[in-house]
Amino acid sequence: MCLVDEPPKVTGTLIWYYYICQREVWLMAHELNPEHENLFLELGRLIHEGTYSRDKKEFTFPGMKIDILQRREGRLIIGEVKKSSKTTKSAKMQLAYYLWRLEKMGLQTKGELLIPRERKRISIELTESLRIELEKTIEHIKKIVASKNPPPPVRSRFCRKCAYQEFCWS
Residues in contact with ligand SF4 by CB under 6 A are: 21, 23-24, 153-154, 156, 158-159, 162, 164-165, 168
CB of 91 to ligand SF4, least distance (A): 17
Q: How far is the CB of 168 from ligand SF4 (least distance, A)?
A: 3
**Amino acid letter at 68?**
I
**Contact assessment for residue 26 and residue 53, using Cβ atoms and an 8 Å cutoff:** no
Of the pair 90, 103, the CB lying nearest ligand SF4 is at 90
Shortest spacing between CB 161 and ligand SF4, in angstroms: 9
Which ranges of 19-114 would DSSP assign to H, the alpha helix?
A: 22-29, 39-49, 52-55, 88-104
Angstrom distance (rounded) from CA 131 to CA 11:
16
Rank residues 96 and 168 by Cβ distance to ligand SF4 and give the closer one: 168
C-alpha dihedral over 133, 19, 8, 55, to 10 degrees? 130
* For ligand SF4, the closer CB: 61 or 158: 158
Comparison of 24 and 112: residue with beta carbon closer to ligand SF4: 24
Say which residues have a Cβ less than 8 Å from residue 143's Cβ, sequence separation at least 6. Answer: none
Q: How many residues can be counted in the chain? A: 170
Min dist CB 51 to ligand SF4, Å, is: 21
